[in-house]
Amino acid sequence: MKDVSEPILLVEYSRVRANTQAMVERLDCEDMVIQTMPDVSPTKWHLAHTSWFWETFLLLEELEGYREYSCEYNYLFNSYYDAIGERHPRNQRGFLSRPGLADVLGYRRHVDEAMTRLLSSLEGEPLERLEPLLRLGLAHEEQHQELILTDIKHVLSHNPFAPQAFPETGRGAASDEAGASWIGFDGGLFAFGVEGLPFQFDNEGPRHEALLTPFALADRPVTNGEYAAFINDGGYRTPSLWLSDGWARVNAEGWQAPLYWHERDGAWRQFTLHGEAAPQPDAPVAHLSFYEAAAYAEWAGARLPSEREWELAAQRGAGPDGRFAMPGWSAHPDVCEPGSGLRQMFGGVWEWTRSDYAPYPRYRPAAGAVGEYNGKFMSGQYVLRGGSCATSQGHIRPTYRNFFPPQARWQFSGLRLAKDI
Amino acid sequence: MKDVSEPILLVEYSRVRANTQAMVERLDCEDMVIQTMPDVSPTKWHLAHTSWFWETFLLLEELEGYREYSCEYNYLFNSYYDAIGERHPRNQRGFLSRPGLADVLGYRRHVDEAMTRLLSSLEGEPLERLEPLLRLGLAHEEQHQELILTDIKHVLSHNPFAPQAFPETGRGAASDEAGASWIGFDGGLFAFGVEGLPFQFDNEGPRHEALLTPFALADRPVTNGEYAAFINDGGYRTPSLWLSDGWARVNAEGWQAPLYWHERDGAWRQFTLHGEAAPQPDAPVAHLSFYEAAAYAEWAGARLPSEREWELAAQRGAGPDGRFAMPGWSAHPDVCEPGSGLRQMFGGVWEWTRSDYAPYPRYRPAAGAVGEYNGKFMSGQYVLRGGSCATSQGHIRPTYRNFFPPQARWQFSGLRLAKDI
Amino acid sequence: MKDVSEPILLVEYSRVRANTQAMVERLDCEDMVIQTMPDVSPTKWHLAHTSWFWETFLLLEELEGYREYSCEYNYLFNSYYDAIGERHPRNQRGFLSRPGLADVLGYRRHVDEAMTRLLSSLEGEPLERLEPLLRLGLAHEEQHQELILTDIKHVLSHNPFAPQAFPETGRGAASDEAGASWIGFDGGLFAFGVEGLPFQFDNEGPRHEALLTPFALADRPVTNGEYAAFINDGGYRTPSLWLSDGWARVNAEGWQAPLYWHERDGAWRQFTLHGEAAPQPDAPVAHLSFYEAAAYAEWAGARLPSEREWELAAQRGAGPDGRFAMPGWSAHPDVCEPGSGLRQMFGGVWEWTRSDYAPYPRYRPAAGAVGEYNGKFMSGQYVLRGGSCATSQGHIRPTYRNFFPPQARWQFSGLRLAKDI
Amino acid sequence: MKDVSEPILLVEYSRVRANTQAMVERLDCEDMVIQTMPDVSPTKWHLAHTSWFWETFLLLEELEGYREYSCEYNYLFNSYYDAIGERHPRNQRGFLSRPGLADVLGYRRHVDEAMTRLLSSLEGEPLERLEPLLRLGLAHEEQHQELILTDIKHVLSHNPFAPQAFPETGRGAASDEAGASWIGFDGGLFAFGVEGLPFQFDNEGPRHEALLTPFALADRPVTNGEYAAFINDGGYRTPSLWLSDGWARVNAEGWQAPLYWHERDGAWRQFTLHGEAAPQPDAPVAHLSFYEAAAYAEWAGARLPSEREWELAAQRGAGPDGRFAMPGWSAHPDVCEPGSGLRQMFGGVWEWTRSDYAPYPRYRPAAGAVGEYNGKFMSGQYVLRGGSCATSQGHIRPTYRNFFPPQARWQFSGLRLAKDI
């Protein structure tokens, strides 16, 4: 097995790293400096931070003779690992013109060369020992690929003239269906979570049983057209539809539509990475907060699914039929292909669940600094399942647990309805 | 039955209303005006709001010829019922010198007379129809009794000279035990929640099954002495013990100890409603946020219980052995009586669980304005179980779900450790 | 002289202290607790602080055997004297229910008895030495009388039902004049400021010369009717009329009219201490910021006077023809009596000048803690001249320099136009 | 005259524009995007805004057939001219990656070509009419040259590793003098301000008389060494030295030294555009707020000069002996050359005066949009006189009135002592 797995990890590494770089090719270096809110990081920071991750957790520990690229980078590009030392304040990442893009790309090359050396020589016990960390690094970089897209979208949307980052794309043909269908599931004791994959995040396990009562899921996500009906029906002005915290947020921030929608001459327009356009009625609605997703579900006489309902359904046969982040793709959710069964469980929008982000029974974080990856975020956030048009295809699976605070809207986040039966 | 139940409700009503009034007897009218943070309401506001509840949901609807006390009070004393109309901003309740205390007490008498008339005449179908609402009103007023205590404690604590609201009380004898004991519970499918009680909140149902894995609970809450050891061990300076949001809060607000603790001449002092004193080492620690409770549990190598673990244990035999809010009592948690089995599950401190406040399976809020009582708060909060020294004894039971945001510290909130076995 | 001046100071003291008390007679003790913004102090705080001033600067220093009323009061009721030690934060004065009103009135009596003792026995050198400080204390208490009125007005205005603090008063007959007249003054070198009065503030001197160019002043303040014309002409929507900081304030705070004006059914209503009413067209407009006064003047093709222009005019013959704060008066500016010459230079509204609050040439603050009375506030404020309906009559004179930040609106502040000729 | 003055204006224009560009030559395009506080604008914004000024006020009005470079630029690069229409919010200038630097430089070339055409053809009446506006444009661009330097200094200082923008420079030899000397001036009536210069700002006139009393000025600005003595003497911890607003600022922002000073290993270090270094004891102290300047003067037993005292002294013989912004210069104040008489009145640091920024007698702003240049800022600011090492030499003169809010510290602002005699 060994002689096969070694090249595979190097191939994987090279592919993922190249994808990151491909993603930013059309951006100007000035685009990559800007931070429009504390949640958003500049593109350049993502490019450096993903390299810092390899350097800190792999190269400095494991590659004999590795020379640190710059002694300042650990301070600048540590994201949140308290165990690794002091770090630059998150909300000041947009103040860093230096190191410039050229230096950051030099950092990437330096790390790539060293990683190539490390991965070429790795075998036997060290390989086995390091493989989980290497796969974590790949997953980590793929996560940041998605953040590069969602963050630069936020940045460019703050330009009053809404520049187009990527070329316009053809749109899927409009479907002509009348509405979503319900797909029913029996209740019972089922197993959830996963253990023993070549790679998984610690938060996806331990595998455990839980009891579900019968429920139904919509066969596809809620669309822009359906969501516009909610708006037109006064959804944003009806407190009884909203969670109390959501209603406070609607009023404090003046929400009247999803993020990136604005009205012009009486019609909705939507900022996308491919230019501004009317929201396509049959495409999934995106850039909703948890509160908006829950209010919509209430208005529709339904509810959000729990994360275990979603996982059970996904395990029962959903395929990744969506569009993922890859060369030549479009960074905007496409219309759902017609068909029967669950559609677009992956590759359209992340789907808010009603489940708070909490540890599975008997969960313990990994030891050491990488143990800060997931566990410490388990409060105040909700789980999203699936994967969006901005997610790397290889990165997602039925047990993947994404999570964001309930007010977050800058991700490609939408919803799929559920109900009790 | 009917001829019996009628007087009972009136007796109940009179008892609860009298308890509210007894609680504020020692306060000056000036104490009752002040609001020290948006979460805190002035005592006078609680006195009026609890009367508004009876007037709005019972008297105006059900008592023929009832004359509203003042047409301005609906605006002033509605807490959060959007369906009932516009209301005075919560964070400006401390700006209301008028109506004065005398008017508010007049309002209470006016409502009491009318309620007496209503309850004296109620029988048959109307009684059956209204009984749930009446019992909700009683529970509502008992909830506000607790808030009156926790809010006035916050108010008086902001006086630099820490005035004593209530007389000093004798203290329980210190126990001499070595530490808490673990009590184990088997896993399995168990039923949770309750339906069909003479009164329950809607959030306590529907009754449903869920799967637990084996666990153990500490026989008593964590004490001041144990918590002081956590502080001395650098608990507030060790990020790895904390949830990420909790660590941010520690730093933003400079937390170094529970609310109401401060250091003087190298020793801890604690503000209580009965004066300032050293925290009693064997009494339960109170005024912790969820974040502090979780960090303490992490430090202790344990975890917080889930709300269902707590409920299962409580159903298996815990009695209300604590001290509750009643005439002549002390509004401060007392030391735990020695004994075997679970101790002080009720009547000491509210115990944080790791469970977010979410609807039970198939939960639907009640119809109408009272449907706003619970459901709309089901995001961003954590469940506490038990009942504190400031809770009315008749008000609590094993299925009762209290809930607060994770940063809240002004309630009598502590913790009991749990672990997997 | 000595045997005469002693009683006079005691008579003065007693009169001023009694006036303070008369002013609050109609307020409830609950009114006196509330602080609606950091600039506003609770009535009770004013009652205590004015007593603290006598206790701190006179009694503790000069009265043998004086017993401090409470050792806590120096911390609570010091306003801003850094030299006197630590003090309670200004923005938390509304958190003090204790000491209660009864205690504060006891404090006043305690101080009054001691002051009576001190003033009865004072003669010779000590009297001469202390007289300036005694007169400063009287002026200080009269200043706080005005603040009691303007602060309680702000407090009561925050009650959504605008309670009436004082009885309604008859209104002056409407005048029928066509408009204000200009009164011209020659330029030249003139003397300003004053020295050697029985009492004056240090900021009123030294007396000094300055050069004025010819100017004219309006014979009366701008009226509500004139100001309403400015509003109707879009004054609050025309940036070219405003100072840059003023325009920012208009937008940030949504100003559309003077403080305490609001629109109802298409007409202006005004909150006053005597109830709500339509603004009287011929009465002076009050509760303007410096920015609004300057914008109005720009709109009217005029400007604000400098403080020396105002003082020169006042020295040339204006009499205090207005209405001042005294028993039985109305705490609202009255219409201007018809007549020739400068009218209502005093006793209507404080009049904003274009002069920043700066030291006169060769000014030095007094030594010791009372040196903090004026000098340290000489930045970021503008001078107002005259005196309002809420000012004590004996307290004002042509050289008196009142001062507030340009955004302040809760004083009875208006304007009188000036122009170059 | 005409055939001479035409080329001169074109030569002037070309020189000033080239200086702007020379100033940014060593910056990376990423440096030019960042905004670290609302007062700071990105370099790129300055480059565009100065071009917008020429385009808006000259080219669009006066050059037949001029084609606007981009219809979006008026919205983006208008600074504060309300009369010119809506504009991009000031505090979001750092969100503009597009237009990129290349576009902005294209804008500059486009404007330069058109201005060259306009200036080459201008003669007779049009030239006379436009000359004031042309000279205003030159002065405007020179003002922004200084802001480019002070703003990029602020930006780079926010990088935790303090990058060096410009090469290190030799330092002036340390002087060995014992201290500053006083130079006395008689009082009397003097004329101030200026009228009829080839160019002047409207705020420098009208010329007018005012009365001064005898005073003395220090012969040179306060130095780093003197200011360090103030710090060591507890200057930042002594409230009696400070204006009340200044003391509040010291505490709110934790000031302990001038901006850009920080302590390392017990010694002061200073961030400069030429790298980090110990503050040179004999060089003028820079980056003080008005409050710090006033507190220092109080500590030194002196005071700040009024702007008229400064102007009188400057008229009496001070020469521009300092170092100004020009090719090859150092953007940091140099030590004062030894000598007699007033030294370094220009070219070291801007010197705070005690004079608020107010209109001279009979001042009226210019008509039209350029009338917004000065007058609307005449509140809440203090006048600084002189000119700093970052000022263009041709731009300053004895009557020039610079102005900033009292808390501003990012300019090269220091002080010179004055006293009454």
Q: What is the pLDDT of residues B85-136, one digit of tens each?
A: 888 999 999 999 999 999 999 999 999 999 999 999 888 899 999 999 999 9
A and D in touch (3+ CB pairs within 8 angstroms): yes
Instruction: Determine the pLDDT at residue D6.
Output: 46
The 10s digit of each residue's pLDDT in A283-327 is 999 999 999 999 999 999 999 999 999 999 999 866 556 666 665
State which residues of chain C have pLDDT below 70: 1-7, 170-177, 318-329
Contacts of D75 in chain A (CB under 8 A): 160
C97–B34 CB contact, under 8 Å: yes
- Give the residue from B30, B92, B156 with the most C CB atoms within 10 Å of its CB, the best one to mutate: B30
Least confident window among A195-209, B162-176, D345-359: B162-176
Mean pLDDT of chain A: 91
Of A189, A290, A376, the CB nearest to B211: A189
As a whole number, mean pLDDT of residues B276-291 equals: 96
- The stretch B356-365 carries a mean pLDDT of 94
Answer yes or no: do D380 and C406 touch at CB < 8 A: yes
Residue B202 has pLDDT above 70, yes or no: yes
- Using one digit for the tens of pLDDT, what is the confidence trace for B46-89? 999 999 999 999 999 999 999 999 999 999 999 888 888 888 99
Residue B165 lies in a domain: no
- Choose from A29, A73, A97 for mutation: most chain D CBs within 10 A: A97
Strand, helix or coil at B30?
A: coil
Cβ burial, residue C16 (10 Å; 0-12/13-18/19+): buried
- Judge whether C84 lies within some domain: yes
In chain C, which residues have their Cβ closer than 8 Å to the Cβ of B101? Answer: 30
Regarding whether A409 and A270 lie in a shared domain, the answer is yes
Is residue D199, in this structure, part of any structural domain at all?
Answer: yes
Indicate whether B4 pLDDT > 60: no
**B200 shares its domain with B78:** no
User: B84 in helix, strand or coil?
Assistant: helix
Smallest Cα distance from C254 to chain B, Å? 18
Contact D194, D207 (CB under 8 A): yes
Q: Mean of the pLDDT values across residues D337-355?
A: 92
Q: What is the pLDDT of residues B319-332, one digit of tens each?
A: 556 666 665 667 88
Residues B283 and B341 in one domain: yes
Assess whether B112 and B204 both reside in one domain: no
The per-residue DSSP string of B192-229 comes to ES--S-SS--GGG-S-EEEEE--EEEESSPPBHHHHHH
CB-nearest to A28 from D92, D95, D100 is D100
Band the pLDDT of D228: cuts 50, 70, 90.
very high
Other beta carbons less than 10 A from residue B295's beta carbon: 24
Tell me: pLDDT of B174 over 90. Answer: no
Domain identity same for A414 and A265: yes
Q: Are residues D119 and D202 in the same domain?
A: no
Size (chain A), residues: 421
**Residue A66, phi then psi, degrees to nearest 5:** -65, 135
Q: Minimum mean pLDDT among A100-109, A190-199, A308-317, B2-11: which range?
A: B2-11
Do residue D34 and residue A95 have CB atoms under 8 angstroms apart?
yes
Looking at the complex, does the CB of residue D75 fall below 8 Å from at least one CB of chain A?
yes
Confidence of residue D2 (pLDDT cuts 50, 70, 90): very low
Instruction: Give the CATH number, domain containing residue B44.
Output: 1.20.120
Find the range with the poorest average confidence among A23-37, A378-392, B317-331: B317-331
Same domain for D134 and D261? Answer: no
Burial track A156-166 (b if 16+ CB lie within 10 A, e otherwise): bbbbbebbebb
Show the domain range for B355. 182-420
Task: Write phi, then psi, for D163 (nearest 5 degrees).
Answer: -65, 155
- For residues A134-161, average pLDDT: 95
Can you list the pairs that D360-368 forms with residues at least 24 positions away whose Cβ atoms lie under 8 Å? D360/D192, D360/D193, D360/D203, D360/D205, D360/D206, D360/D208, D361/C213, D361/C420, D361/D206, D361/D208, D362/C213, D362/C420, D362/D206, D362/D208, D363/D202, D363/D203, D363/D205, D363/D206, D365/D202, D366/D202, D368/D83
Q: Are residues D93 and D129 in the same domain?
A: yes
- Spell out the alpha helix ranges (H) of D40-88: 43-54, 60-62, 73-77
In this prediction, residue A411 has a pLDDT band, given cuts at 50, 70 and 90, of very high
Please classify residue B234 by burial: count the beta carbons closer than 10 Å to its beta carbon, then call 0-12 exposed, 13-18 middle and 19+ buried: exposed
Has residue C105 been placed in a domain? Answer: yes
For chain B, how many structural domains are there in total?
A: 2
Residues A253 and A298 in one domain: yes
Express the helix, strand and coil content of chain C in percent, nearest 5 each: 40, 15, 45
Residue located via tokens 């004139």: C226
Q: Which two tokens stand for residue A39?
A: 């949640």
User: Is A83 inside a domain boundary?
Assistant: yes
The pLDDT assigned to D5 comes to 45
**Residues C272, C397 share a domain:** yes
Residue A168 lies in a domain: no
Cβ pair C290:D376 closer than 8 A = no
Q: Taking residues A239-252, what's their average pLDDT?
A: 96
Determine the pLDDT at residue B175: 61
The answer to whether residue C271 is domain-embedded is: yes
Q: Is the pLDDT of residue A35 over 80?
A: yes
Task: For residue D95, list chain A residues with Cβ-Cβ distance below 8 A.
Answer: 34, 36, 155, 158-159
Tell whether A149 and A285 lie within a shared domain: no
Does the distance separating the beta carbons of C244 and D376 come in below 8 Å? Answer: yes
Whether cis (ω within 30° of 0) applies to the bond prior to B99 is yes
pLDDT in the model for residue A5: 45
User: From CA B80, how far away is CA B87, in angstroms rounded?
Assistant: 8
pLDDT digits (tens, 9 = 90+) for D294-330: 999 999 999 999 999 999 999 987 655 666 666 566 7
H helix and E strand count, chain A: 10, 12
Together in a domain, B277 and B393: yes
User: Which CATH number belongs to the domain containing residue B352 in this structure?
Assistant: 3.90.1580.10
Chain A residues with beta carbon closer than 8 angstroms to that of D155: 95, 97
Give domain status of residue A145, yes or no: yes
| Distance, CA of C82 to CA of C84 (rounded, Å) | 5
Mean pLDDT of A93-113: 96
Note the ipTM here: 0.94
